[in-house]
Amino acid sequence: MANHQILVISDSHGDTSTIRKLLDHYNGKLATVVHLGDMARDLLQFEAKYPALTMVAVAGNSDFVVSLPKQKVLTLGVPISKRVLLMHGHTHNVNFNINRLMYYAAEQQVDACLFGHTHISAMFSHGSVFFMNPGSLSQPRGESKASYGILTIDTIGNITGDIIRV
C-alpha cells in the first residue's frame, strides 16, 4: 500500500492560475486536495475538470459561500486511518496566538490540524497533534514566500509534511 498524500492550499485570494498548475502537476499523483479558506471557490471551480481528485474546502473569513463549513474532520490514511481537522483559523485567533487552536485540536482528538489565515507557512507538533499552515498561494506576509503544503500519512500511520515554495 502507498502513502496517502494530501495537497494543502490556503488563502489563494483569486489566484486560480497557480491552483490550476498545481492540480495539473499533482493529478494522478495524489487523491485529495484541501483548501483551508479565503477564496475556497478558487479550488472548487475545478471539481468537474479533475474528477479523480477529491476536493474538500472550508470557509475562511473572506468566504461568503453559505454551504461551506467553517471546519471539517476528515478520516484519511490506509491501512491506519488518522483524523485530520481542517479549518481556516480565524475563529481561533491564530493571528495573535495559536494556543486556542492547539487546545481545540487536542479536545477534538485529531491526529493533525491544518489551518491557514496567517499567510505565513508553519509546521510543528504539539503533544500528539501535527499542525500545518501551508501559507498563502498569492499573498504571503512577513518574510514568508508564496507556498502550499503536502501532508503525508504513511502506511504505519506516521504524519509528516512539506511546505513547498511556489
Res 1: pLDDT: 61
Strand, coil or helix: what is 33?
strand
Residue range(s) defining the domain that contains residue 149: 4-165
pLDDT of residue 156: 92
- Please state, rounded to an integer, the average pLDDT across all residues of the chain: 92
pLDDT value of residue 78 = 77
* pLDDT confidence of residue 141: 80
CATH number where 76 lies: 3.60.21.10
What's the predicted TM-score (pTM) here?
0.94
31-88: pLDDT as tens digits = 999 999 999 999 999 999 999 999 999 999 888 876 899 999 999 887 889 999 999 8
Domains in the chain, number: 1
Would you state the pLDDT for residue 45? 94
3-state secondary structure 36-103: CCCCCHHHHCCCCCCCCCEEEECCCCCCCCCCCCCEEEEEECCCCCEEEEEECCHHHCCCCCCHHHHH
Cβ atoms of 78 and 108 within 8 Å: the answer is no
Cα(117)–Cα(42) distance, rounded to whole angstroms?
Answer: 16
Answer whether residue 152 shows pLDDT above 70: yes
- Kindly report the backbone phi and psi dihedral angles of residue 66, in degrees, each rounded to the nearest multiple of 5, phi listed first: -60, -30
For the stretch 91-148, pLDDT in tens is: 887 888 888 999 999 999 999 999 999 999 999 999 999 999 999 998 878 777 899 9
Most confident of 12-16, 23-27, 58-62, 75-79: 23-27
